[in-house]
Amino acid sequence: MATRSVSQEAKDIHLATRMIHLGARLQVLQAETSLSYERLARLYREVRQESPPKGMLPFSVDWFTTWLPNIHATIFYSIYQYMSLCTSLPKGEALVESYRLYLEQASAGRLEGAGDEPVLSFTRAWVLVRFFESEMMQMAQCASCQGNFVAHAQALTNGFVCGICKPPPRAGKTQASRVIRKKKKRARSGQNDHVQ
Ligand SMILES: [Zn+2]
C-alpha cells in the first residue's frame, strides 16, 4: 500500500468518480480500483450526497436472457467488445465509455424501456462483462437476422432466433403504452357521452 504511486491513486479516484456518476455500486468500484473501501465510501457520499446502497449485487444470469434486458445487454456488450478489440483502453475506462455510448443509443433510438432509469444499470453491465470473462455467457447468432446476441454459454445456439425477430406476444405492452391506451379508451367513451 505504501508504495502505491500518487498518480495511480489520482487515476483511480477519477475512474471511480465517473463510475459513481453512472450509478456503480461500491462492490464494482472495489473490484476496478485499488482504493480502500473507506475511501470509496467517502468518495461515493461526496459525489452522490447519499450513502452507498447496501446489499447483494444482481447476480442472475437468466435476467440477461429475458426479452427486453437481452436487447439492452446485447447493445451494451457489442459496444464493449468493439472497444476492447479496437482501442487500448484499460478495462475500467472501456466499461465507462461503452456504458455512456449504450445510454446514448438507448435514448437516441427511443428504445423501449429508455425512461429515467436505463433498463441495463451500470452495475448490471459490469456483472455481464464478468459473466463473459468467466465463460458463463456467450454471443449467439440469430438464424433470422444474423445479428449476435447475448446468450447462456450452455445454450444450444443452433436455430436460435433473437427477441427482435421473434418478440414475445406481450412485447411492447409497457406501463407507458398501457397508460396511453387507457387515456384513448377514456377519450372514446367521453366522445360517446356527447353523442348520446
Ligand atoms: Zn434476429
Q: Which of 12, 146, 10 is nearest to 91 (CA)?
A: 12
Q: How far apart are CA 112 and CA 107, in angstroms?
A: 9
Q: How far apart are CA 106 and CA 143, in angstroms?
A: 24
The ranges assigned to domains in the chain are 6-48, 57-196
For the segment 12-57, what is each residue's pLDDT rounded down to a tens digit? 999 999 999 999 999 999 999 999 999 999 999 999 999 999 988 8
Kindly indicate the confidence band of residue 185, based on its pLDDT and cuts at 50, 70 and 90: low
What values do phi and psi take at 138, rounded to 5?
-145, 170
Question: What is the CA(112)–ligand 1 centre distance, in A?
Answer: 17
C-alpha cell at 123: 452495475
For the segment 130-156, what is each residue's pLDDT rounded down to a tens digit? 999 999 999 999 999 999 999 999 877
Question: What is the CA(42)–ligand 1 centre distance, in A?
Answer: 45
The secondary structure of the chain in percent helix, strand, coil, rounded to multiples of 5, reads 55, 5, 40
Res 192: pLDDT: 45
Contact between 72 and 163 (Cβ < 8 Å): no
Question: What is the CA(145)–ligand 1 centre distance, in A?
Answer: 4
Q: How far apart are CA 73 and CA 64, in angstroms?
A: 6
C-alpha cell at 142: 440469430
Kindly indicate the confidence band of residue 79, based on its pLDDT and cuts at 50, 70 and 90: very high
Question: What is the CA(148)–ligand 1 centre distance, in A?
Answer: 8
Contact between 167 and 161 (Cβ < 8 Å): no
